[in-house]
Amino acid sequence: MTIVVGYLSTPEGEAALHAAVTEAKRRDARLVVVMSRRSRPEDHAAIEAEVDHVRDLLDEAEVAYEVRRTGRTSDVAENLVGAAEELDAELIVIGLRRRSPVGKLFLGSNAQRILLDAPCPVMAVKPDAPSGHQPKG
């Protein structure tokens, strides 16, 4: 059994990674982390630090895993859906960010494409609200 998780070095990416670890332990599944890169090629040291952070977290969690890095210009939704298809994944985990009132009309093109094109269930998570900030209903 395999779970695919999309990871960016953002609060949403961290929330997705932590939720995926919880699910991997619960299901005794292998975790495949698809890391998207929004940085420039000259940011190599920062990228390697992100990869090390993810590996450290997964080693500490004691789950079986694989880390896949994608290029800056690659299609995030296509990479996640493609990995899920290739691995016959049982779940994809993605992070969502809060949207403005107008933005709520649209889920976000990558998230929407993943939800519609995924060959398996998709778990969408959001990061905890900062202290003192209560989401509007």
Give 11-68 pLDDT, tens digit per residue: 999 999 999 999 999 999 999 999 976 556 567 788 888 899 999 999 999 999 999 9
Cite the beta strand spans of 36-120 per DSSP E: 65-69, 91-95
Pairwise CA distance, residues 79 & 66, whole Å: 14
Pairwise CA distance, residues 119 & 88, whole Å: 8
pLDDT value at 131 more than 60: no
pLDDT value at 123 more than 90: yes
Comparing CA positions, the residue from 105, 112, 50 lying closest to residue 80 is 112
pLDDT value at 99 more than 90: no
Assessment of whether the complete model's pTM goes beyond 0.75: yes
2-125, superfamily in CATH?
A: HUPs (3.40.50.620)
Q: Which two tokens stand for residue 85?
A: 């298809």
